[in-house]
């Protein structure tokens, strides 16, 4: 069970969080002309890297804030956690 | 039989308290402080079980977690549990144990025929034999293997015991209370760190209880007692015995298994039997010690063969002799300690040392005591079937691959010592890459991935002086960085005997023409020959060899067999052990009961139950419950002998004719506030939201980005910047997370706040032609006319002094209202509705009637919004705005979603107007077509239409739009039905939606 430092609440057990997927994805702007390929990239295609990865987590049983976690997907080492605007 | 093998004095047992217990039905006496194993050995019992595969007689081999053989079926307090390690379970009055894996008895076991057929049971026997014919697997092989396999028998009774979970946080967790654990815990505690010291055994001290050493002029045992009592006095320290740290998980999450009740004769009422600890430690110090390695020789599994340190422990801790005529077979000095202990207790051992004649402190001491020592000697084979009677021994030649001469000598036990293996399981679980240490022929921890350090024997440090020095220093350093305190500790003086180098001898060669079984792994009956077979057959990876031969598997996890197995593979492959590598260490280190893992989450505590404020009213009125997530909802209210079908029909009819009331508290409710709330809803929902007036509700559908419908519900504008959203019961939590995601990550510029208010509001839906009359009586001051409160209108009111929100929304398709009050007044509201509704023939209705009403109206719900449908599929295209963008809109433009024959929701009625169509039925054109019969769609929801008095279903059908009027078959292989149906509009009742607007 990971130990995750919520940027708002501090160290908490993984139990309190929900994983939210790749944190590097940016949603295309509204009302923007966009090709099928670009849209599919956004909706479906994820890299799933081995090693360092920025992820989204949601402090679902806590402050209910979404935030980002830089984590190694093989060792589970967490390098930093930060607010989405950082 | 009295305790013939109990020494007159000595041991740490309480001789004033005899304990009666049973083994295989016979009564015996032991003492308080005994384990089941030591008590049986005191009574001269060695034959305690049969081996797994060959049913060979087996006896005790170790004295703790190292024991591979002594798994027993144990009954305490009426609970029967299999595979209990007799060397670990403490003796309590009334304990009753029996041997496993033998029939009819341990003395005469029919299965032992396997032993004589053993050349037909080589490694991989099962894989090779039970392959063909394929049809035999289920009928013949599998039942046979099931019967033959396994050790004990799991009880079929419900476990009456209580188990607990506990969470703890500390600066340092120290695993093991031997010299390394005590020293490091003490140093850290002195620096003010919060320390947990865990000891698996009942007694603290580890090897200090059995080694002949002094620390600051105290015996090892006295010194450990002194340190423990000091630690127990310190408020920053938790000291736990009978507690095994068995798992090392990410981010220093340690899991510990505490045996809180098994050793107590009378367990206090609220004491659990066992407890699982989740410990998050900033630093972990692994002082798990080491386990003695056996030396492999012929028939080395005969009862009476022991690890030499175990024999010493039985004497020193339990005052028990494992034999009176022992051979000590050793490749290092440890065997001499056991020999000396025997001698001190009046037994004359003979020592066979594989090394050439040499001197060391211990060897000289043994020589001075006139202990008979034979250098360059090894045991070739043990004789005796159910107990060692004699042994053939031999003088090794120079290369130690053959014998110069052999002789047979009488003995009643053989104690083996093949040097020591550090217990690196937890270190390895932490992600520590192990390295092979050639000087001790074993793997030791190397680089830590997590915050952990291995100390003492667990780290390959076998002298007390070095262990204490390193452990005091590490405990001090590690804690200093946490607490910023630095208490100087004087490292104590020690007195111990120096060892000379061990011999890299681990297996006795076979003399020419002999074919003795030499076991590497006792628990799984893996002999040297089995591993050789696996290698001959081409298995190379040690992980494959392990799985093919079962070496190192099951409850003992190869604690005594791993390294010898690796040595053998290395020898055959002409490699060295580090090239062979080791298998993966996985939790649990020792077996953990399922009860402990489950803890309190059983029966009604399995998961939390959510109850609405009206729950008890429903209960009193014979509600039959249905689970909706964690919620309990009334499925129907039973009257007399009604069944589900009759009751739901009655309830639904009453809604269509008069008025019904339904508890809708469980619907998700989200409060939305902020100046950008309208803009936000406009992006979240598929339809337009910017112009919704205050005091109006609107139905909305939200999609995922992939275009699939996520949820639907109504949202009401309460005031300028305040909205009240409802979601389905099932999606309430997901929708909130979804909204939060978009507000916090995607569009943080929107000034909107959302919060769940599901539990703040109790909701009651009143539905039916009489609902307006009822509403008027509930709220006499409000104008409830169709003009003042039209369909999708909203008004606030006063319900006999309670503030209420009234929404004119309908799920049933009837004229209907939903009233919300604060949860505390939910029951009050409900009772008022029932009381005043009496004159209008009100009846409560449950989810079954609710479903009937919405299905025949063609309203979609969970079964249609099943994560595979887009708005068009469920006839919601009218709600999809063409003008504005919203979540998931771009996906709706994709080709597959716009095909002409795209699936669509339709209604179905059976041609016979009688047969109910099972939900999940497949729709096909021809029920007799050859398989695979093309599937055109599936039945999503079914009901008995109370309006038309015949069955009606909703279905998702390919090209549904053009299928109206066609006849198809609804086939359910599960229910074995095939019903001819007619396809029609999904709106079976009130096509034009007049009633809701009436």
By DSSP bridging, strand B290-292 and strand B420-422 are antiparallel
Q: What is the 3-state secondary structure (H, E, C) of B151-170?
A: CCCCCCCCCCCCEEEEEEEE
Residue B78, pLDDT score? 74
CB within 8 Å: A56 and B252: no
Q: Name the closest residue on chain B to residue A59, using Cα atoms.
A: B737
Report the pLDDT value the prediction gives residue B361, as an integer from 0 to 100: 94
- The partner residue sitting opposite A66, judged by closest CB among B706, B741, B890, is B741
Give yes or no for a cis peptide into B104 (omega within 30° of 0). yes
Q: What residues of chain A lie within 8 A of the CB of B253, using their CB?
A: 1, 3, 13
Q: Cβ separation of B748 and A85 shorter than 8 Å?
A: yes
Residue A3 to chain B, least CA–CA distance (Å): 6
Q: With an 8 Å Cβ cutoff, is B891 touching chain A?
A: yes
Closest-CA distance of chain B to residue A62, Å? 12
Is A20 in CB contact (< 8 Å) with chain B? yes
Cβ atoms B923, B954 nearer than 8 A = no
CATH 3.10.20.440 fits B1-157, yes or no: yes
Query: SS3 string of B578-613?
Result: HHHCCCCCCCCCCCCCHHHHHCCCCHHHCCCCECCC
In chain B, positions 286-315, which contact chain A (CB-CB < 8 Å)? Answer: none
Give the pLDDT confidence score for residue B615 in this predicted structure.
98
Q: Tokens 């799991």 map to which residue?
A: B154
Other residues' Cβ atoms within 10 Å of the Cβ of residue B463: 16
CATH superfamily label, B899-997? Aminomethyltransferase beta-barrel domains (2.40.30.110)
- The answer to whether B745 contacts A75, with C-beta atoms less than 8 Å apart, is no
Largest CA distance in chain B: 115
For an interface test with B, give the residue of A5, A7, A13, A18 to mutate (most B CBs within 10 A).
Answer: A13
How high is the mean pLDDT of chain B? 94
- Domain topology for B610-666+760-858: Gyrase A; domain 2 (3.30.1360)
Provide CB contacts within 8 A for B898, sequence distance 6+: none
pLDDT tens-digit series, residues B367-424: 999 999 999 999 999 999 999 999 999 999 999 999 999 999 999 999 999 999 999 9
A-chain CB neighbours of B894 within 8 Å are: 36
Where in chain B are the domains? 1-157, 163-290+422-495, 298-418, 513-598, 610-666+760-858, 668-757+863-881, 899-997
Check pLDDT > 80 for residue B127: no
3-state SS, B497-552, equals: CCCCCCCCCCECCCCCCCCCCEEEECCCCEEHHHHHHHHHCCCCCHHHHHHHHCCC
The pLDDT assigned to B76 comes to 75
- What's the pLDDT band for B736 if we cut at 50, 70, 90? very high
- Nearest chain A CA: its distance from B746 CA (Å): 7
* CB-CB neighbors (< 8 A) of B737 in chain A: 18, 58, 60
List the single best residue of A6, A43, A56 to mutate versus B (max B Cβ within 10 A): A43
- Domain spanning B298-418, CATH architecture: 3-Layer(bba) Sandwich (3.50)
3 state DSSP class of B45: coil
Percentage, residues of chain B above pLDDT 90: 84
In contact, B49 and B99? CB cutoff 8 Å: yes
- Chain A contact for B894, CB < 8 A? yes
Q: How confident is the model at residue B143 (pLDDT cuts 50, 70, 90)?
A: low
Q: Range with the lowest mean pLDDT among A69-83, B36-50, B138-152, B963-977?
A: B138-152
Q: Kindly list the residues from chain B whose CB atom is less than 8 angstroms away from the CB atom of residue A30.
A: 683, 885
Under an 8 A CB cutoff, do A84 and B249 touch?
no
Domain range B668-757+863-881, CATH architecture: 2-Layer Sandwich (3.30)
Closest by Cα among B290, B640, B618 to B456 = B290
The partner residue sitting opposite B748, judged by closest CB among A20, A60, A84, is A84
- Closest residue in chain A to residue B884, using alpha carbons only: A31
Residue B750, chain A, CB below 8 Å: the answer is no
B918-966 pLDDT, tens per residue?
A: 999 999 999 888 889 999 999 999 999 999 999 999 999 999 999 999 9
Is residue B631 within 8 Å of B612, Cβ to Cβ? yes
Q: Which of A25, A27, A56 to mutate to test the interface with B (most CBs of B within 10 A)?
A: A27
Average pLDDT over residues A4-13: 96
Q: Report chain B residues whose CB lies below 8 A from the CB of A75.
A: 431, 449
Higher-confidence residue: B588 or B157? Answer: B588
Q: How far apart are CA A15 and CA A60, in angstroms?
A: 9
Distance from the A31 Cα atom to the nearest Cα atom in chain B, whole angstroms = 6
pTM for the whole thing?
Answer: 0.90
Interacting residues of B807 by C-beta distance below 8 A, sequence separation 6+? B697, B714, B716, B793, B794, B817, B818, B819, B820
Sorted by where each begins, the domain ranges of chain A are 3-25+38-82
3-state secondary structure of B822: strand
Which distant-in-sequence residues (6+ apart) come within 8 Å of A59 by Cβ? A6, A8, A9, A12, A16, A17, A65, A66, A67
Q: Please tell me the predicted confidence (pLDDT) of residue B267.
A: 87
Q: What is the pLDDT of residues B806-863, one digit of tens each?
A: 999 999 999 999 999 999 999 999 999 999 999 999 999 999 999 999 999 999 999 9
Measure in Å the smallest separation between the Cα of A6 and chain B Cα atoms. Answer: 15
The separation between the first and the last C-alpha atoms of chain A, rounded to the nearest angstrom, is 26
Is B740 in contact with A64 (Cβ distance < 8 A)? yes
Q: What is the pLDDT of residues B876-935, one digit of tens each?
A: 999 999 999 999 999 999 999 999 899 999 999 999 999 999 999 999 999 888 889 999
| Fold equal for B163-290+422-495 and B668-757+863-881 | no
pLDDT of residue B85: 94
Statement: residue B138 has pLDDT above 70: no
> Between chains, do B250 and A1 touch, taking CB under 8 Å as contact?
yes
**Which chain A residues contact residue B745 at CB under 8 A?**
56, 66, 84
CB-based contact, B935 to chain A, within 8 Å: no
- CATH number given to A3-25+38-82: 3.30.2270.10
Q: Is A37 on the interface with B (CB under 8 A)?
A: no
Query: What band does B106 get if pLDDT is binned at 50, 70 and 90?
Result: confident
Looking at B727-790, list the stretches that DSSP marks H as alpha helix, in order from N- to C-terminal side. Answer: 732-741, 771-778
Omega into B133 within 30° of 0, i.e. cis?
yes
Q: Does domain B163-290+422-495 have CATH number 3.50.50.60?
A: yes
Q: Which residue of B has its CA nearest to A35?
A: B890
Q: Is the pLDDT of residue B469 over 80?
A: yes
| Residue-level pLDDT at B224 | 98
Report the distance separating Cα B38 and Cα B851, nearest Å.
66
Give the full edge-to-edge strand order of the sheet including B14-23. B26-32, B14-23, B96-99, B71-76, B79-85
Spatial distance between the Cα atoms of B738 and B703, rounded to a whole number of angstroms: 10
Cβ of A49 under 8 Å from any chain B Cβ? no
The shortest C-alpha distance from A59 to chain B (Å) reads: 10
**CB-based contacts of B675, cutoff 8 Å, min separation 6:** B721, B751, B752
Indicate yes or no: CB of B744 within 8 angstroms of CB of A65.
yes
**Mean pLDDT, residues A46-69 taken together:** 96
DSSP assignment, residue B830?
H
| C-beta of residue B95 within 8 angstroms of C-beta of residue B22 | yes
The span from the CA of B839 to the CA of B843, in Å, is 11
Question: A39 and B890 in contact by Cβ < 8 A?
Answer: yes
Cβ count near A26 (within 10 Å):
8
Whether B141 shows a pLDDT value over 70: the answer reads no
Q: Of how many residues is chain B composed?
A: 998
C-beta atoms of A84 and B431 within 8 A: no
Per-residue pLDDT band at B583 (split at 50, 70, 90): confident
The beta-carbon neighbor of A56 closest among B250, B745, B890 is: B745
β-bridge mates for residue B174, sequence order: B197, B285
**Residue B480 neighbours by CB distance under 10 Å:** 17
Determine which helix (DSSP H) or strand (DSSP E) holds B616, and give its type and residue range: helix B615-620
* Residue A56 Cα, gap to closest chain B Cα (Å): 9
Residues A22-48: tens digit of each pLDDT: 999 999 999 999 999 999 999 999 998
d(C-alpha A1, C-alpha A21), whole Å: 18
**Which CATH code fits B513-598?**
1.10.10.1100
Residue of A nearest to B448 (CA): A75
* Structure tokens belonging to residue A64: 């209910």
Instruction: Say which of A20, A30, A76 has its CB closest to residue B250.
Output: A76
What is d(CA B572, CA B535) in angstroms, rounded to the nearest whole number?
Answer: 8
List of chain B residues whose C-beta atoms are within 8 Å of the C-beta of residue A65: 740, 744
B490 DSSP 8-state letter: P
Do residue A56 and residue B891 have CB atoms under 8 angstroms apart? no
Nearest CA distance, A48 vs chain B (angstrom): 19
Out of B251, B746, B890, the one facing A34 most closely (by C-beta) is B890
Q: In this structure, are strands B420-422 and B413-417 parallel, antiparallel, or unpaired?
A: unpaired
Residue B149's pLDDT is 55
Nearest-angstrom CA–CA distance, B295 and B560: 10
pLDDT at B22 over 60: yes
What is the sign, positive or negative, of the torsion defined by CA atoms of B357, B358, B361, B362? negative
Are A39 and B891 within 8 A, CB to CB?
Answer: yes
Place of tokens 């492999």: B296
Touching check for A8 and chain B: CB below 8 Å?
Answer: no
Contact state of B740 with A31 under an 8 Å Cβ cutoff: no
B44-77 pLDDT, tens digit each: 999 998 888 888 899 999 999 999 999 999 987 7
Integer CA distances (angstroms), B955 to B728, B950, B974, in order: 20, 16, 17
Q: What's the CA gap between B199 and B241, in Å, rounded?
A: 5
Tell whether A27 is within 8 A of chain B (Cβ): yes
Region B102-122: mean pLDDT is: 70
Inter-chain CB proximity A58 and B737 less than 8 Å: yes
């Amino acid at each position: 069970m990971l130990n995750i430092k919520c940027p708002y609440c501090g160290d908490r057990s993984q139990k309190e969080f929900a994983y939210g997927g790749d944190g590097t994805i940016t949603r295309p702007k509204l009302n923007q002309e966009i090709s099928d390929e670009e849209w599919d990239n956004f909706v479906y295609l994820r890299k799933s890297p081995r090693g360092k990865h920025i992820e989204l987590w949601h402090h679902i049983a806590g402050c209910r804030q979404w935030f980002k976690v830089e984590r190694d997907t093989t060792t589970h080492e967490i390098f930093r956690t930060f607010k989405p605007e950082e | 039989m009295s305790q013939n093998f109990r020494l007159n004095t000595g041991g740490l047992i309480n001789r004033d308290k005899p304990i009666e217990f049973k083994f295989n039905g016979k009564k015996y006496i032991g003492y308080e402080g005994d384990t089941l194993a030591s008590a049986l050995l005191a009574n001269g019992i060695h034959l305690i079980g049969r081996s797994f595969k060959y049913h060979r007689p087996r006896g005790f081999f170790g004295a703790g977690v190292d024991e591979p053989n002594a798994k027993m079926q144990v009954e305490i307090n009426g609970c029967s549990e299999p595979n209990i390690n007799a060397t670990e379970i403490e003796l309590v009055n009334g304990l009753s144990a029996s041997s496993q894996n033998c029939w009819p008895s341990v003395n005469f076991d029919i299965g032992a025929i396997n032993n004589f057929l053993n050349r037909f049971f080589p490694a991989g026997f099962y894989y090779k034999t039970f392959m063909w014919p394929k049809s035999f697997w289920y009928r013949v092989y599998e039942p046979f293997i099931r019967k033959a396999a396994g050790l004990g028998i799991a009880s079929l009774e419900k476990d009456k015991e209580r188990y607990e979970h506990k969470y703890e946080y500390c600066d340092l967790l120290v695993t093991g209370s031997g010299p390394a654990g005590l020293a490091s815990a003490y140093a850290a505690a002195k620096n003010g760190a919060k320390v947990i010291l865990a000891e698996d055994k009942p007694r603290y001290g580890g090897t200090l209880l059995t080694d002949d050493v002094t620390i600051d002029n105290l015996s090892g045992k006295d010194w450990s007692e002194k340190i423990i009592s000091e630690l127990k006095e310190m408020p920053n320290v938790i000291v736990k015995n009978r507690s095994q740290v068995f798992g090392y998980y990410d981010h220093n999450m340690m899991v510990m298994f505490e045996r809180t009740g098994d050793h107590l004769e009378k367990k206090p009422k609220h004491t659990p039997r066992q407890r699982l600890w989740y410990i998050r430690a900033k630093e972990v110090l692994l002082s798990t010690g080491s386990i003695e390695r056996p030396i492999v020789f012929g028939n080395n599994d005969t009862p009476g063969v022991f690890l030499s340190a175990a024999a010493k422990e039985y004497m020193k801790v339990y005052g028990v002799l494992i034999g009176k005529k022992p051979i000590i077979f050793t490749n290092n000095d440890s065997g001499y300690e056991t020999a000396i202990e025997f001698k001190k207790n009046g037994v004359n051992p003979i020592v066979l040392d594989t090394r050439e004649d040499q001197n060391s402190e211990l060897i000289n001491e043994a020589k001075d005591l006139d202990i008979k020592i034979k250098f360059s000697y090894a045991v070739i084979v043990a004789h005796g079937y159910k107990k060692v009677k004699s042994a053939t021994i031999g003088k090794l030649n120079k290369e130690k691959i053959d014998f110069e001469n052999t002789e047979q000598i009488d003995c009643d036990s053989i104690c083996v010592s093949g040097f020591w293996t550090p217990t690196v399981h937890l270190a390895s679980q932490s992600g520590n890459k192990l390295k092979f240490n050639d000087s001790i022929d074993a793997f030791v921890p190397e680089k830590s991935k997590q915050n952990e350090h291995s100390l003492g024997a667990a780290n390959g440090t076998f002298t007390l002086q070095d262990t204490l020095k390193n452990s005091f220093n590490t405990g001090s350093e590690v804690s200093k960085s946490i607490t910023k305190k630095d208490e100087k500790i004087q490292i104590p003086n020690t007195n111990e005997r120096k060892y000379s180098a061990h011999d890299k001898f681990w297996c006795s060669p076979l003399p020419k023409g002999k074919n003795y079984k030499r076991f590497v792994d006792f628990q799984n009956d893996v002999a040297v020959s089995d591993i050789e077979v696996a290698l001959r057959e081409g298995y190379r990876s040690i992980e494959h060899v392990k799985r093919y031969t079962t070496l190192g598997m099951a409850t003992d996890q190869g604690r005594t067999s791993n390294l010898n197995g690796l040595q053998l593979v290395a020898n055959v492959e002409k490699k060295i052990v580090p090239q062979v590598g080791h298998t993966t260490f996985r939790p649990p280190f020792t077996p953990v009961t399922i009860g402990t893992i489950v803890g309190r989450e059983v029966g009604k505590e399995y998961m939390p139950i959510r109850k609405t404020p009206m729950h008890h009213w429903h209960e009193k009125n014979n509600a039959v419950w249905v689970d909706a997530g964690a919620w309990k909802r009334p499925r129907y209210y039973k009257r007399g002998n009604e069944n589900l079908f009759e009751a739901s029909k009655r309830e639904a009819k009453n809604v269509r004719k008069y008025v019904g009331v339904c508890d809708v508290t469980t619907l998700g409710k989200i409060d939305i506030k902020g100046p950008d709330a309208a803009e936000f809803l406009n992006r979240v929902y598929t339809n337009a939201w910017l112009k919704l007036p205050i005091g109006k509700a609107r139905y909305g559908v939200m999609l995922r980005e992939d275009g699939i419908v996520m949820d639907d519900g109504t949202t009401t504008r309460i005031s300028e910047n305040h909205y009240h959203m409802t979601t389905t019961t099932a999606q309430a939590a997901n929708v909130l997370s979804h909204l939060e995601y978009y507000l916090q990550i995607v569009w943080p510029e929107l000034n909107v706040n959302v919060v769940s208010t599901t539990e703040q509001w109790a909701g009651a839906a009143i539905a039916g032609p009489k609902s307006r009359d009822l509403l008027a009586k509930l709220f006499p001051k409000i104008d409830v006319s169709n003009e003042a409160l039209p369909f999708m209108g909203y008004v606030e009111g006063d319900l006999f002094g309670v503030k209420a929100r009234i929404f004119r929304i309908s799920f049933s398709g009837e004229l209907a209202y939903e009233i919300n009050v604060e949860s505390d007044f939910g029951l009050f509201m409900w009772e008022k509705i029932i009381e005043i509704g009496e004159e209008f023939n009100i009846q409560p209705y449950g989810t079954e009637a609710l479903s009937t009403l919405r299905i025949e109206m063609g309203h979609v719900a969970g079964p249609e919004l099943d994560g595979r449908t887009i708005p068009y599929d469920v006839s919601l295209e009218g709600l999809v705005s063409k003008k504005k963008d919203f979540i998931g809109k771009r996906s709706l433009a994709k080709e597959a979603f716009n095909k002409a024959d795209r699936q669509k929701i339709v209604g179905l009625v059976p041609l016979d107007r009688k047969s109910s169509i099972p939900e999940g039925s497949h729709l096909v054109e021809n029920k007799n077509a050859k398989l695979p019969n093309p599937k055109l769609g599936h039945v999503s929801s079914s009901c008995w239409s109370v309006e038309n008095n015949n069955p009606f279903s909703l279905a998702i059908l390919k090209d549904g739009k053009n299928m109206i009027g066609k006849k198809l078959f609804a086939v359910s292989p599960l229910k074995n039905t095939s019903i001819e149906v007619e396809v029609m509009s999904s709106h079976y009742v009130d096509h034009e939606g007049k009633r809701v607007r009436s």
